[in-house]
Structure 1
């Protein structure tokens, strides 16, 4: 079963900061180099020769409404016709990539995300799936992981029926917050009834997994309103609940300048939210997977974690082992072996390049041996809350403590704080430390630690 957690106020005060987000290694901030089409095609050739399975990620950048908490460079527009040209570009990109993929490479995972994927109408959704099936080994069976992000304001039973018919079997429902004053502060008005309708549709249409996302730390949010929202969500019995902290970074994301910093909850209020959330989720039977994900015991992620096969990468958690990821669309992220890259976020650049039968500009990083070691450590912490020294040392020919000698004072500090334990065999995060796994992960990120080895590592919880 999935791991349980224990609340620790002292660890929260020491290691929680909402302005220190973290996802996976290496982060997109390190995607600093121009990645040529030749480099991408070469990485695809290596993937093809190794016959690695593929995960496809399609990014739809459009949204009809501006949400003030956003951290993506989404395109807010009421002009639904803009999707026509974008779909044409996606088709061109898929054709260019497919020439370098073996038709026998299985597609084990497909995700449709971005701003609001159902900005596309039902006909366009069918058209998009047609492009994917024309170019890749997409098999719409109930065992593949074909997921889509859902905005309950932009989706109805009819659209859910179309999604199920074309092969999607998992939905991630974006709720974020339910209190009216919180919704007004972030410009996202939606009712619990809208979410309930989508959950009912998903259950009736036999989607395999229903996941619901909530955000803590939003403006006007209180421990009471957050707990009430989580209680209402749990009453719907989703397979997974994902909690993420809001990072207010108006200097980085212009849309967040519309949020009044004075409306943000205090650290004490956030601590209450997380403590109550941990108690509610544990009582409802949700184990902690990691990275803000809680799941019921019979969920795929919980089973994979128990078996030691859970994976984590650029697209989050997955049960797809040894997969390469190909991203399509503006801002889409790909990972082909040791090559990580992200398509340009400029829609004009993206569409112009593809209209000329060329891949869009991309920036990324080619991981070196040190990156691979650190990536594996962070992966194991994210998926199992533990790093087995012998396994890592055999795989990479290193001695763990010697290799990370410079980090050892901070590792021992974390052990003294009760965040983790160190034995001869492994480094293991404690039950009370699991909500702060990201702090341990950041410690092994050389881009974050190389300039300041003696400062305590701090990050957002879960």
Structure 2
């Protein structure tokens, strides 16, 4: 894999259509309603006990609403709401822990939301002590224990507490450093606040720090975002996620507070993305794929170089071979061939747990065809190529013949020099790296069943 990214705005505009981000295949829109928790119990019963665990804890509370946000969250200033939620969360943890082998080892933990740092330092400490009491956490250097933080929601000792609890990776949203943009999206966090968090996190020894930026926000311009990039590059986070803002006010109520007339036009938005790619590449950030950049010595970049990168519901990861167990409202689990999602409202999640049921809302069991296509999509997203011989061996088929209709669908991308298909493999070219999502869509047999409006545009 080279560090070469070829920027062709006309070509990108031509292929810029809505499609999934493929944190799973089949995607979450294919999950089916679950009448009870028997399917989830079956997933645990059939689990390969030799596999390690990745735990995801969803903390849904936010003190403030960010107008761009499409996450599953509960906006409240009443911090006392956390206590009853955490008690039920512990109940869910115990219910699921009882279905796991005693020898199961946790190699990855992520607290997301919402705003996990909505919890007090004492609540965070209590939750982590509870988890460590009931799970075997790996002490390996490769173990990944991360949390999303909000710089506005940190007490004086919060970062020290998190580090003492074993967290070794932080992720937080910056989005944009321009004050007028922050005002327009209701997320005011001055540069001095971001710098203070970075400096303290470095001093405390967090081994990886990720920042999120968003392009396409109201009042953004190429010139203003360039200033944000200059500052962020100087702060030198280990990873950067540069997300496309998808304005879907009909789906996400907070976005109705954003004035559509203030959004940058399509050409300006594309120019911002192109400038991001050029500037970050010049600053020695490796383009991992799908909006993600990492320093060459970061674990993500090293895993990709070694052919060991994975992709799951947490995005790009070095621990994709773990079973993912989700806890809390709306969380998703991936256990072997099963995908499972918890109830997405606090009330229905609570009721299930009060009734001593796993709070399953939706589920899906992947078929042999799903697993084949999931492998192709993951290989393209993570490593930009997929070898037919490996597929033949893994699935005992003539994969090139089996996937012929999908390969035919890639003909326009082949003609445009974005994809190469020969007798050995499918390869994404340097010219096609920014459009790998489009190549994956050719292998998605469910996609034609859905309106494109259900997904954001590729760029």
Into which bin does the TM-score normalised by the smaller protein fall? over 0.9
Displacement of 1:266 in angstroms is: 1.2
Secondary structure at 1:433's aligned position in 2?
Answer: helix
Choose 257-266 or 205-214, whichever is displaced more: 257-266
**Aligned pairs (5 A) from 1:63-142:** 63-139=62-138, 142=141
CA deviation string 1:174-231 (max 9, x = no partner): 1112212211221111112211111111110101101111011112111112222122
Task: Classify 1:71/1:321 alpha carbon distance in 2 versus 1 (closer, same or farther; 3 Å).
Answer: closer
Q: What is the distance in 1 between the residues matched to 2:290 and 2:365?
A: 25
Distance (Å, rounded) in 2 between the aligned partners of 1:306 and 1:87: 40
Tell me the residue number matched to 1:158: 157
Deviations 1:381-419 (A, max 9, x none): 111011111111211122233222222332111111222
1:348 equivalenced with 2:347 (yes/no): yes
TM-score normalised by the chain length of structure 1: 0.94
Contact preservation (8 Å) 1:178, 1:192: yes
Q: Is the 8 A contact 1:6 1:278 kept in 2?
A: no
1:142, CA displacement in angstroms? 4.8
8 Å CA contact retained: 2:53, 2:105: yes
CA distance in structure 1 between the partners assigned to 2:195 and 2:440 by the alignment? 35
List runs of 5+ in structure 1 lacking aligned partners. none
Helix, strand or coil at the partner of 2:344: coil
Contact 1:343 1:360 in 2 (8 A): yes
In structure 1, the partner of 2:333 is 334
Q: CA deviation at 1:157?
A: 4.9
Structure-1 separation of matches of 2:297 and 2:224? 29
Corresponding pairs, count: 457
Conservation of the 8 A alpha-carbon contact between 1:15 and 1:459: no
Equivalences for residues 273-292 of structure 1 within 5 A: 273-292=272-291
CA distance in 2 between counterparts of 1:19 and 1:270 reads 18
Counterpart for residue 16 of structure 1: 16
Change in CA separation of 1:303 and 1:27 when aligned onto 2, cut-off 3 Å: same
Distance 1:451 1:169 in 2: 40
1:245 corresponds in structure 2 to: 244
Q: Cα gap change, 1:102/1:194 in structure 2, threshold over 3 Å: closer, same or farther?
A: same
The separation in 2 between residues aligned to 1:19 and 1:367, in whole angstroms, is 20
**CA–CA separation in structure 2 for the residues paired with 1:79 and 1:329:** 19
Name the counterpart of 1:31.
Answer: 31
Matched residue, 2:46: 46
CA distance in 2, matches of 1:139, 1:391: 31
Give the C-alpha shift of residue 439 in structure 1: 1.3
Q: Could you tell me whether the CA contact under 8 Å between 1:22 and 1:459 is conserved in 2?
A: no
Equivalent position of 2:356 in the other structure: 357
SS in 1 for 2:136: coil
Secondary structure, aligned partner of 1:127: helix
Distance 1:285 1:168, change over 3 A: same
Bigger mean CA offset, 133-142 vs 440-449:
133-142
Native 8 Å contact 2:249 2:255 kept in 1: yes
Change over 3 Å in CA distance of 1:141–1:397 after alignment to 2 = closer
- Which secondary structure state, in structure 2, belongs to the residue aligned with residue 327 of structure 1? strand
Post-superposition offset of 1:20: 6.4
Q: 1:142 to 1:155 in 2, by over 3 A?
A: farther
> Could you tell me how far apart the structure 2 residues matched to 1:451 and 1:358 are?
32
Task: Pick closer, same or farther for the CA change 1:386–1:254 going to 2, 3 Å.
Answer: same
Change (3 A) 1:99 1:42: same
| Alignment match, 2:431 | 432
Residue in 2 aligned with 1:180?
A: 179
Query: Equivalent residue for 2:271?
Result: 272
What TM-score does the superposition give when structure 2 sets the normalisation length? 0.95
From the superposition, tell whether residues 386 and 224 of structure 1 become closer, same or farther in structure 2 (CA, over 3 Å). Answer: same
**Corresponding residue for 2:412?**
413
Deviation at 1:232, TM superposition (A): 1.1
Q: Judging changes above 3 Å, is the alpha-carbon distance between structure 1 residues 149 and 140 closer, same or farther for their aligned structure 2 residues?
A: farther
Query: In 2, Cα distance between the equivalents of 1:50 and 1:138?
Result: 15
Classify 1:127/1:139 alpha carbon distance in 2 versus 1 (closer, same or farther; 3 Å): farther
The structural deviation recorded for 1:141 is 6.0
Distance 1:136 1:206 in 2: 24
Cross-structure match for 1:233: 232
Contact 2:19–2:458 under 8 Å retained in 1: no
* Greater Cα shift, 429-438 or 11-20: 11-20
Cα distance in 2 for residues equivalent to 1:410 and 1:184: 44
CA contact (8 A) 1:22 1:442 kept: no
